[in-house]
Amino acid sequence: MERHSSKWYNVQSVPQSYTFPPEERPGETPIIQICHKIPVIDLEKSLVSSSEKMETIKQLLQAGQEFGFFQVINHGIPEDVMSQTILTFNEFFDMADEQITNVPARKGWIYTGSEQEVKDGVHLWRDNIKHPCHPLEKCMQSWPDKPASYREVVGRYVAEIRKLSLTILELISEGLGIESGYFDEQSQVQLLSANRYPPCPDPSLTLGIPKHFDPSLITIITQGNVSGLQVMVDGKWVCIGAVPNAFVVNIGNQLEIISNGMLRSVEHRAVTNSREARTSIALFVNPTPNCIVEPTKVLLNESNPPLYKFILYKDFINASKAFGIHTDAIQKEA
Ligand code: OGA
Ligand code: NI
């Protein structure tokens, strides 16, 4: 109890060091303005018949083209896997401060309490943990071991998301005309980044994650029952509604390149709210470091010349560091 009252976010007003400059703040306009246009796609339908599958593929491509974001439902991942994973992260974040002080030599995971995390001189309104997830069995050994269920629960979640990511990438490749199995090899690296955004006394001043693009192929996010993920749509920031048991999926920079700009990687950010804590879990599905990322040949012709040069994924990451890449999505070098 006592510990709780000493948490960094237990304040009456937002400290100066957490206040973003006016041009970056969410401001006074309704922060949680839900965009109902961002599609919610039923994946089960794609299993029914080949015409339903073509319809699902069409919806995925359209959403990727128009918004760079969509949600998926009936994805086959059991509800309890999702809810238990959120619960486990909530427990983790409740005890994280003690974990950090008690486990000096952490290997394979990075916890950042808000006090330690500063972007352009301003603290983010979140606590965060990141770690690699592939190959799963090997990575798991170095994940947190508290709460006691962490490795088992998060391991099951990651295995399920891996399958889901391949399903989604396979449907997208079929739509683009890329050969089946293309992404099985290319998307071997997954990184998990879980966030807890505590309630904030003035959400108009703070950000959980400032605006960014994901340098992934795709990112798969659970946001539980609390919305706060904002996407740029027609020049305005709008929220993605919290749909029960849905996953939010977004197109990352690498899939934008592979699709020669047909699928868009769109800027997004995480805002806070004053009522309740929000927990989100992002799984970044990335190419392997030496993977060559380039517009797929099948899409190119005289009227559709390549808009991007080929690049090794690791060179993309290194080059982007100079421009402030979203570091949640990339593996820290050893
Ligand atoms: C991210 C991200 C959004 C969220 O982790 O890259 O955009 O809602 N997260 O936490
Ligand atoms: Ni992101």
pLDDT digits (tens, 9 = 90+) for 284-326: 999 999 999 999 999 999 999 999 999 999 999 998 887 778 8
pLDDT band at 103 (very low <50, low <70, confident <90, very high): low
- CATH number of 254's domain: 2.60.120.330
Q: By three-state DSSP, how is residue 203 classified?
A: coil
Assess if residue 330 is contained within a domain.
Answer: no
Q: Of 17-21, 100-104, 209-213, 314-318, give the lowest mean pLDDT range.
A: 100-104
Residue 99 host element (H or E): helix 79-102
Q: Is 328 in the pocket of ligand 1 (CB under 6 A)?
A: yes
Assess if residue 195 is contained within a domain.
Answer: yes
Show the tokens assigned to 294. 């380039």
pLDDT at 98 over 90: no
What is the reported pLDDT for 3? 43
What lies within 8 Å, CB to CB, of 98 at 6+ separation is none
Q: Is 256 in the pocket of ligand 1 (CB under 6 A)?
A: no
Assess if residue 276 is contained within a domain.
Answer: yes
Closest by Cα among 56, 25, 313 to 187: 313
What is the reported pLDDT for 334? 40
Assess if residue 10 is contained within a domain.
Answer: no
Assess if residue 4 is contained within a domain.
Answer: no
The residue behind tokens 């005289």 is: 302
What is the reported pLDDT for 34? 85
For 140, the domain range is 16-323
Assess if residue 219 is contained within a domain.
Answer: yes
pLDDT band at 109 (very low <50, low <70, confident <90, very high): confident
Whose C-alpha lies nearest to ligand 1, atom 10?
280
Q: Is 229 in the pocket of ligand 1 (CB under 6 A)?
A: yes
Assess if residue 5 is contained within a domain.
Answer: no
The residue behind tokens 């592979």 is: 258
Instruction: Provide the percentage of residues in the chain whose pLDDT is more than 70.
Output: 94
pLDDT band at 35 (very low <50, low <70, confident <90, very high): confident
What lies within 8 Å, CB to CB, of 157 at 6+ separation is 81, 82, 85, 281
- Give the number of domains in the chain: 1
Assess if residue 8 is contained within a domain.
Answer: no
